């Protein structure tokens, strides 16, 4: 179990790093958006490439942060059903949901999106919009993002199994209203 927990910590570190780095794309997206709007209204000029760059960045943030969101336990849950359950029951629900729903879905999307990316890359697919961007970079984000999400799902399964076998404390439940500093302090304490 010690080796599996080490793998879990590595996966957590990767998704933590990706989440924090990708968060900077929000700033880039906002700057591109405001710059594009300013140029459009001030100079009556525009570019589809800048609009597509905004969409690409937004897609990257949304998709690449899915593993980070799972790491922080911030995905939408049905707390009405599990709110009164014991930590052990919640761990079993997470394990079963991960094994039977999350992992198969992420693997399926990875497998199905890879040929779409490869086809786009080989053909040097470009947007049909005038001045549009290459399509393969944004299509690459899909399998990469779902790989990160699948890896984080494996990490969460390891942590839940370690808890159930007495090798680790109960996974930390995050509150949507907890300040980021208190959550990071909890993580460093573990």
Q: pLDDT per residue over 22-63, tens digit each? A: 999 999 999 998 988 888 888 888 788 888 899 899 999 999
Q: In this model, does residue 121 exceed pLDDT 60?
A: yes
| pLDDT of the residue at 168 | 87
Give the C-alpha separation, 122 to 89, whole Å: 48
- Report how far apart, in Å, the C-alpha atoms of 94 and of each of 21, 57, 63, 70 are: 27, 31, 21, 11
Q: 64 is written with which tokens?
A: 């690449």
| pLDDT of the residue at 124 | 92
Q: What is the mean pLDDT of residues 74-89?
A: 81
CA 10 to chain centre: 16
From the list 66, 81, 86, the residue with the least C-alpha distance to 156 is 66
From the list 1, 5, 17, 2, the residue with the least C-alpha distance to 156 is 5
Average pLDDT of the chain, as a whole number = 87
Range(s) of the domain holding residue 150: 2-189
- The tally of domains found in the chain comes to 1
SS percent in the chain: helix, strand, coil, step 5: 75, 0, 25
> The pTM is what?
0.83
172 compared with 85, residue with greater pLDDT: 85
């Amino acid at each position: 179990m010690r080796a599996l927990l080490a793998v879990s910590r590595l996966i957590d570190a990767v998704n933590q790093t990706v989440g924090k780095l990708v968060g900077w794309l929000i700033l880039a997206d906002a700057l591109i958006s405001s710059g594009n709007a300013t140029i459009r209204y001030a100079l009556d000029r525009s570019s589809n490439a800048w609009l597509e760059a905004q969409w690409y960045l937004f897609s990257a943030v949304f998709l690449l942060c899915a593993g980070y969101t799972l790491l922080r336990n911030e995905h939408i849950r049905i707390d009405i059903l599990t709110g009164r359950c014991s930590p052990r029951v919640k761990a079993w629900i997470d394990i079963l949901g991960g094994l039977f729903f999350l992992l198969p879905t992420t693997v399926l999307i990875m497998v199905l999106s890879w040929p779409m990316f490869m086809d786009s890359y080989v053909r040097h697919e470009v947007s049909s919009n005038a001045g549009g961007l290459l399509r393969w970079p944004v299509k690459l984000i899909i399998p990469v993002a779902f790989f990160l999400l699948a890896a984080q799902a494996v990490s969460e399964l390891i942590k839940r199994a370690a808890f159930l076998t007495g090798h680790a404390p109960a996974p930390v439940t995050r509150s949507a209203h907890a300040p980021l500093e208190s959550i990071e302090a909890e993580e460093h304490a573990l």
